[in-house]
């Protein structure tokens, strides 16, 4: 019996990375339509490229009526790379905007567990709890956010 393992070719990885990097440049310069095209091209070349889905999700997050699409692609990004803290952070943002407060809390917690420099995750957890009506948890996470910010300011000095 012959098993064929489907893995992207080196040239596919190289091309998808090229399109992703060009997409990042376009994104940073405010050319969202161009960035989206480039991220989509990167994902078409390699559908398992986490950063391509992350880029698509980031663009959709900034577009009106595209929150569900942002959630879809950002979920794909973190499914492909479960260590991707910023992927979880922006997934949490998209879920928060979509009114999926419990999902956003989970995503923000995942982001903060993976990268404690993403202190805004704590603030957003507080906000999600507040919006869901849990004032006690909201206050708890807001206090954690304030302590984390104070600690970071102390480390800088």
Rounded Cα gap, residues 10 and 91, in angstroms = 29
Q: What is the pLDDT of residue 14?
A: 65
Q: What is the pLDDT of residue 56?
A: 98
Rounded Cα gap, residues 134 and 34, in angstroms = 41
The mean pLDDT value for 46-74 works out to 97
Rounded Cα gap, residues 55 and 87, in angstroms = 9
pLDDT band at 4 (very low <50, low <70, confident <90, very high): very low
Q: Please give the structure tokens belonging to residue 106.
A: 């989970």
Q: What is the pLDDT of residue 99?
A: 97
Claim: this prediction has a pTM higher than 0.95: no
Domains and CATH numbers, the chain: 11-81 (1.25.40.10), 101-157 (1.25.40)
Q: Please give the structure tokens belonging to residue 41.
A: 């091209």
């Amino acid at each position: 019996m012959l098993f064929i393992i489907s893995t992207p070719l080196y040239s596919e990885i190289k091309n998808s990375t090229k399109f992703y990097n060009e997409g990042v440049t376009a994104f940073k310069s405010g050319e969202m339509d161009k960035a989206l095209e480039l991220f989509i091209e990167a994902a078409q070349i390699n559908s398992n490229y986490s950063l391509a889905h992350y880029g698509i999700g980031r663009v959709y997050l900034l577009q009106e009526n595209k929150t569900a699409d942002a959630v879809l692609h950002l979920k794909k990004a973190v499914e492909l790379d479960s260590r991707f803290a910023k992927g979880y952070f922006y997934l949490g943002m998209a879920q928060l905007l979509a009114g999926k407060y419990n999902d956003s809390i989970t995503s923000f917690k995942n982001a903060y567990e993976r990268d404690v420099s993403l202190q805004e995750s704590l603030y957003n957890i507080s906000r999600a709890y507040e919006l869901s009506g849990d004032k006690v948890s909201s206050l708890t996470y807001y206090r954690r956010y304030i302590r984390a910010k104070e600690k970071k300011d102390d480390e800088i000095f």
